[in-house]
Every structure is written in C-alpha cells, then in structure tokens.
Structure 1
Amino acid sequence: MTASSPTEDPAFLADDDLPLRGIKVLELSHMIMGPAAGLVLADLGAEVVKVEPLDGDRTRRLKGSGIGYFPVFSRNKQSLAVDLKSAEGQALVRELARGCDMLVENFRDDSLVQYGLDYASLSAANPGLIYVSLKGFLSGPYKQRTALDEVVQMMGGMAFINGSTGAPQRVAPSVNDILGGTFGVVGALAALNDRQRTGRGRHVRAGLFENNLLLVAQFIAQHQLTGTPPVPMGDKRTPPWGVYDIFDTQDGRVFVAVVSDANWRTFCRDFLPPGWSDDQRLFSAIDREAARPWLVPAVADILKAWKTAELCAALEASGLSYGQIRQPHDLLDDPHLNAGGALIPTTMPDGRQVAAAALPIEFDGRKAGKRLDPQAIGAQTHDILRGLGLDETRIAQLVDQGVVAV
C-alpha cells in the first residue's frame, strides 16, 4: 500500500477551500446509513459532531465483515460521548443543536421525541435547522417499519435479480445504506441552498426502500416494455452486446467490453485473425448479439493464449474497455488510485491503520481529504462543552455523574 497523506498531497483541497466549510452538523446516528451521510458532509468541510453513547458507537466493536465500518465512515468527525437517557445529556445536545445548520439522524420515527430532539422541538428553537432523517421507508403504509439494507434488497427485488432462481443473493456492499445516506445529503444541500432564500430549514427524509427502487427501476421498466421478467444474473447472463464477457487468460481473467461498431472494428484489427471484420454475420451490434452462442466461445479460444498483463496493456492501447478481475484488497496496490489520492491513510484510535476510500468527487481536479482520523470515544467532549460555556467544574461534575465521557 502506497497511499499518500492528504495533508501533504496537492491532490487534496486545502481546508479553507472545502465547499462546506463553516457548516455545523450534529450527527445522531448508528450503523451505516447515518454515518455514511455524516462522512460525506464531513469530508466536504462541514464541522460534524458525532454524538455517541458513553461506551461509543457500536460499530467500534464489530468484528468480521463489520469490522471495516468504523474506520471507513468515521473520519473528519468530532466525538461527543453523552448519555441521552439523562436529562442533563439531552439538554446539552439540544443546546448544541441550537447552533447547528444541520442534524442527521437515523433512529426510528418518533424515538427522539422523548429527548426533545425531534424536528418539531429543535426547529422551534432553531428555525434554520435542516433536519435529515434517514429511514427504512418514506411516506406510505410501511413508514413505521424498521429496515436494514438486506431487508430492502430482499423485498425490493435486488437480491432476486442479483442471485439465481430460488436463491436470492444480496449485493455484498451496503449499497442502499451508502447511496441512501448520500441522497440524504443531496436533500440537505438542496435545503441549504433554499434556506438562503427563505431563511428557514426543512425536514429532509431519505429512505432505504425507495433508494432500492431507484436501483432496480431499469429492470421494472424492462418488464413493462417487454412483458418478460428479467432473468436473475446468476442464472443466465444476457448482455445486449456480442462481446461483453469475462475471458480466461493464461494466468487470470479479464472482462472485455466491445460495444460499438467502431469498437468491434478495432477489436477485430488488434485481437482477432484476418477476416473477422468482413464476416457479414457480425456487421452490427444486433448481429453480434444474435451470434453470441458461437461468437463468445470463439473469442474466448483466442484470448486464452494471452497473459493478463499483456492483454490489459493491449486493450488499453486500443482504447477498448476492460477490467482485470480482482479482489477488493487488490485495490490497495492500484497505481491509478494511489496516484490520484483515492486511498486515504487512516489511523484508528488503537493505532491500527487502514486505507479508506476518499469521496469519488473532485473539485477543480482535487479531492476532499482527511483532516481528522477516527477519534477515540469522547475525544472532543471537553472542548465542545467549553464551547457551550461550561466551566471546568461543571464539566467535571457531568463526568462524575456519568452524563458525559471525556
């Protein structure tokens, strides 16, 4: 891994050039959807305070496939550890919200009412507050249900189309959590722009189920237009192009995409024996799609003689689309990602290090980098309370009473 430090790399925006600098955000969230939204806002320059229980967000303690959640979604955030079940803790967070531009939460509907941290209560004291609620479902009969990414993948058709008949399979990444959280940010930024005109905030809601709907909408439209349900990807892959497949090489596998007629002529010229470009059975994209039963095996027989690196280099030189089949951790050594600053060195509170992904956005050729590593539980509690006007004696009392942790 050769990822470079954002603080030293000109590929990253300077702190005073970040687009959301000066925006204050309070994050009351858990697991992935809320932290994902908070990450986007924090990376873009907002001052994000993550409110955690006294023993910390539970993602800090996850193992196995969940061990990566905390280091990936927690950078650039301050940590305030507070007991929200105590009246004093609730009052502190309400006071903090009075001075914020946005609040992000992904708790069950109405669960924050008991703490006076719901939209109605907070907007009464801070009319300009943009309150972002990240939920399982938007308005409708399911609104009060709880949901997880995997739940909506199952009920929303994504697991069906991704698996095989009789064996639905979830998409491995938390696509609905991450994209759903991102849509929450889209709504928040739209509301922030509108606030310049009206002076008032808004209650923005984003839903996992509706996000899933957007992701499978193309398959719904396909069924409506053809009358035939789409076949699960695990049953039979039916791409709309003649060569759009994974091919074995001498030492690996490469996905090759030959889409347009111009692509086909180039592919014939650089990779296939003489005469292929003149075959009338392959003149158009429609012809090549119809010829897939014999075309794909024939191309596979030719490409298997190549070594992976040499084939990729030749495809690159020809300007054709391709991708070597890799595992996620192989990306740590990807020259493009390393050169472009897409991998951000991240140190966890216990000293362990990972390379986390930068936001896939550039502003004038520069990415948003890291200002703060994932913090220890309550690392900024003391400074935040001082910012609210509490003196050292009062802070010590709150610590002794178990209201906050520093």
Structure 2
Amino acid sequence: MSRPLEGLLVADFSRVLAGPLAAATLADLGAEVVKVERPGTGDDTRHWGPPWTEGPGGRSSSYFECANRSKKSVELDLADPADRAMAVELASRCDVLIENFRAGSLDRHGLGYAAVAARNPGVVYASITGFGSKQGAELPGYDFLVQAVGGLMSITGAPGEPTKAGVALVDVLTSKDAVVAILAALRARDAPEAGGRGQHVEVNLLSSLLGSLANQASAYLATGEPPGPMGNRHPSIAPYETLRARDGQVALCCGNDRQFARLADVLGIPAAARDPRFATNADRVAHRDALVAVLEDALGADTVDAWVERLTAAGLPAGKVGTLADAFELATRLGLEPTVEVGKGRTPQVRSPLTLSATPLTVYAAPPRLGEHNDDLRTLLSTPRHDPPPGPRPQDHQEDPR
C-alpha cells in the first residue's frame, strides 16, 4: 500500500531544526518535500560541525542530516526575480508550506500566508516562530534561549546551576506540535463544509515548551510556587530517581505502594514497606532522604547489573544509566530496529518512531546535497498545474480577532 501522505507536496522554506524536522516527518510519511535553500550556503545547519559524515556526495554535517532526509534540495534566491517566481509557483502548487522566517519577511516576496492562500486556497500554511506572531514577533527564537526564558533550565539538573536539556528539546517538541497541527488542518480541509480550503497553522517554541511542562506547569498553576531543580528526583513520587548500587547507579521507578512493597521484598528489606515513614507515596516523598539511605544501603550489597536483573524479573521498572551506545544496543536487542539505511556509503539514520500496520514507513532517502534537485524543480513547475480546490477565498472569511 502507498504511504499515508503519498501524493502530497510540501514546500519546506524552513531552516535549522524545528521546521526541517517537521518536514522530514512528513517526508517519512510519504509526502514529496521540496526544501528551498539559500544559494551557495543553504540551511545554517549544513555548516554546524563537527561531527561530519562522509558519503558519495562528499562531507556533510550530521546535524543537518538528522532533520533533512528524504527531501529534494533546491537553491532559490528570493531577491532574484526569476528565482522568486519559481518560489511563488511552488507555493501556488503545494499542499503544505512550512516556514520559520521573521514576521513579514516572506510578505515582501509575495510568499506570506494571505498572498499564497489567495492563489492556492487549499494550502495548509505552517508558521513556526520563537515567541508567536504578536508582541513577540520580532524576537529571535533559538532553542537554548527558550529553554532559559521558558523555565525549563530552572527545573533541570542539580540544585544550583540552571541546566539545559542535553538536546534541542524545545525545537523537537515544537516540530511534533507542528506536524500534529498540519495533519489536523489537512483532515479539516477534507471535511465537506471546508470546500477544500486550507488554513494558517501557527506554533511557537515558547508555547510548545509550556505545553510540554505537564505536571511541573500544573504544580505551579495550582500553588503559585515555581518548582526548582531536583536532579534525578521526581517532585511527586518516591522512589523515582537514580540510586547508588555497589558499582554505579540504578534508575528506579515505583509508581504505587504495591510496587514499593515488591521492591522492599526484592531488596531483602520487607519491613521498609511497613515503616510508617514509607507506607504511602506521600509518606515516602515527605521522608525521601531517609528512604534513599535505606534503599542505597541495601543496593550497595550487589552490582547494578545484578540488581537490574532481579528487579526486572520481579516486574519493577529499573535500569542501568547508560550511554547512547547502550540505548541503541538495547533497542536493537528488543527488536525495535532503531536505525535505517539511507543509501550506500551513507551514515545510517534513526528510524522513524511511527509504526503503522497498514501503511508502514519503509522508504528513507539520503539527505540531499545543496541544490541537488534544482533541475527537478524546473521539471515539476513545467508540468500543467491542477486547478485549486473549490471553496471560498481566504479574504471572504473574517480573521479571528485573537
């Protein structure tokens, strides 16, 4: 069977991570994605190295490759009339357009939402910004900056120094929000009452971060007290952290009192489950330091691997704190096939986490060289254009005052 988004054309005008990663997800799902890049330099991340990868097309940045597989790269200078005309024509034909330019930048080139939707009423036009399109429209949005001002650094790491996450987590979360919104807008476009009309989709890094803070954001809204960093501890559950064994640390999770009683049995300290300080989760949270001392005293009798084997056999969530090498090895051992080949002589890529039974994701192509598909774009734009779907023009609808 064809892939879920087979036949959709996506114009990817974005760069760096959030937008390109969203477009790459659509490519994994079968869409044809045309990545528009600056002539000569391309996406900023093409130059973000080391590390570099080597392949038939020469050296590439591993950062660029993580978010740009299965796309076609074309070089277009929006300041050049001929190139701008091709960009406008591409926008007039695509089903989805993704951009993360500063507010108003694309309007000057006839590529803002109003202009594109007037020519292409069915377009789903996705804008990704750092801080929204209102008062924050002019603020530059970088993942590290949003981690700082958005509160993530204040709850990450050990008490003391605010700490960023070890990956551009806000960009990744925002990319997933963008994909969800795009797919929802495509579904809405198919509704009979929509008449084939698309819409403007907007996501921003700050809102995606706040929406992802889950229990931490909810705790702040409930109490008015901003939470602080707790290292590997959980603010509401104990034990739910890393604990020292004889030769290293065990990651241990106990989500309820039954699990804690089972843990106490496996560790050979069944009386701990009857200790009034540890009888309920609320008790354990209140007496966390005493709890940790008791647990680590027991865990110190053996190695991490030995405890993980026993705890796992008892159905308790426990694991060794490992490296990325350990993570890929574990995923392989569990049959998850975590990597895919994207071409002979090319560095493998991480497999899409999406598994669909009827329309599996089985086609992965290498990230493109800069301008590799310039001729393909000209061929695409030279073919007869389909008439736009019927339906009211965007200007016939009153804008949401929000």
Aligned to 1:383: 376
SS at 2:382 equivalent: coil
Aligned to 2:103: 109
**Cα contact 2:186–2:198 (8 A) shared by 1:** yes
2:364 to 371, 382, 387: 371
SS at 2:66 equivalent: helix
Note the alpha carbon deviations across 1:230-263, whole angstroms, 9 max, x for none: 12235x9464333222122333321111221210
Distance 1:337 1:363, change over 3 A: farther
2:285 to 286, 289, 293: 289
SS at 1:310 equivalent: helix
**Cα contact 2:237–2:255 (8 A) shared by 1:** yes
1:214 to 211, 216, 220: 211
> In structure 2, how many angstroms separate the alpha carbons of the residues matched to 1:273 and 1:242?
16
> In structure 1, how many angstroms separate the alpha carbons of the residues matched to 2:37 and 2:382?
21
Aligned to 1:256: 252
Check if 1:73 corresponds to 2:67. yes
1:48 to 2, 15, 33: 33
Structure 1 residue 29: Cα displacement: 1.1
Structure 1 residue 87: Cα displacement: 0.7
Distance 1:229 1:205, change over 3 A: closer
CA RMSD in angstroms comes to: 2.5
Structure 1 residue 34: Cα displacement: 1.1
**Cα contact 1:337–1:343 (8 A) shared by 2:** no
Structure 1 unmatched ranges of 5 or more = 1-15, 391-406
> In structure 2, how many angstroms separate the alpha carbons of the residues matched to 1:183 and 1:284?
37
| Structure 1 segment 300-379 matched on structure 2, within 5 A | 300-336=296-332, 339-346=335-342, 351=345, 353=347, 355-364=348-357, 368-379=361-372
Q: What is the TM-score when the length of structure 2 is the normalising length? A: 0.84
Structure 1 residue 373: Cα displacement: 0.9
Structure 1 residue 72: Cα displacement: 0.8
1:34 to 19, 27, 34: 19
| Larger RCO (alpha carbons 8 Å, 6+ apart) | 1
**Cα contact 2:19–2:128 (8 A) shared by 1:** yes
Check if 1:62 corresponds to 2:58. no
Check if 1:159 corresponds to 2:153. yes
SS at 2:87 equivalent: helix
Distance 1:154 1:242, change over 3 A: closer
Note the alpha carbon deviations across 1:308-342, whole angstroms, 9 max, x for none: 22222222211111232112343232244772122
> In structure 1, how many angstroms separate the alpha carbons of the residues matched to 2:276 and 2:371?
70
User: Which residue type is aligned with residue 19 of structure 1?
Assistant: P
User: Which residue type is aligned with residue 352 of structure 2?
Assistant: L
**Cα contact 2:340–2:364 (8 A) shared by 1:** no
User: Which residue type is aligned with residue 377 of structure 1?
Assistant: L
Structure 1 residue 292: Cα displacement: 2.1
Aligned to 1:191: 185
> In structure 2, how many angstroms separate the alpha carbons of the residues matched to 1:164 and 1:244?
15
Structure 1 residue 307: Cα displacement: 2.3
User: Which residue type is aligned with residue 344 of structure 1?
Assistant: V
SS at 1:37 equivalent: helix
Structure 1 residue 98: Cα displacement: 2.0
Note the alpha carbon deviations across 1:10-63, whole angstroms, 9 max, x for none: xxxxxx432111111010111111111111111111111111222232211211
Structure 1 residue 367: Cα displacement: 5.6
Structure 1 residue 136: Cα displacement: 1.1
Structure 1 residue 193: Cα displacement: 1.0
> In structure 2, how many angstroms separate the alpha carbons of the residues matched to 1:274 and 1:57?
59
Structure 1 residue 118: Cα displacement: 1.4
Structure 1 residue 217: Cα displacement: 5.4
Distance 1:148 1:274, change over 3 A: closer
**Cα contact 1:80–1:378 (8 A) shared by 2:** yes
> In structure 1, how many angstroms separate the alpha carbons of the residues matched to 2:216 and 2:339?
33
Distance 1:40 1:227, change over 3 A: same
What percent of counterpart residues are identical?
A: 33
> In structure 2, how many angstroms separate the alpha carbons of the residues matched to 1:303 and 1:333?
25
| Structure 1 segment 268-283 matched on structure 2, within 5 A | 268-283=264-279
**Cα contact 2:130–2:206 (8 A) shared by 1:** yes
SS at 2:141 equivalent: coil
2:223 to 223, 226, 230: 226
> In structure 1, how many angstroms separate the alpha carbons of the residues matched to 2:215 and 2:274?
35
SS at 1:282 equivalent: coil
> In structure 2, how many angstroms separate the alpha carbons of the residues matched to 1:216 and 1:275?
36
> In structure 2, how many angstroms separate the alpha carbons of the residues matched to 1:166 and 1:249?
25
User: Which residue type is aligned with residue 330 of structure 2?
Assistant: D
Structure 1 residue 157: Cα displacement: 1.2
Say which is worse superposed, 133-142 or 122-131, in terms of deviation: 133-142
**Cα contact 2:234–2:240 (8 A) shared by 1:** no
Distance 1:124 1:241, change over 3 A: closer
Note the alpha carbon deviations across 1:357-400, whole angstroms, 9 max, x for none: 2232221398634421111122222122122228xxxxxxxxxx
Structure 1 residue 90: Cα displacement: 0.8
> In structure 2, how many angstroms separate the alpha carbons of the residues matched to 1:166 and 1:140?
34
Structure 1 residue 73: Cα displacement: 0.6
Distance 1:228 1:204, change over 3 A: closer
Structure 1 residue 100: Cα displacement: 1.0
1:205 to 202, 210, 221: 202
Q: What is the TM-score when the length of structure 1 is the normalising length? A: 0.84
Distance 1:275 1:172, change over 3 A: closer
User: Which residue type is aligned with residue 219 of structure 1?
Assistant: Q
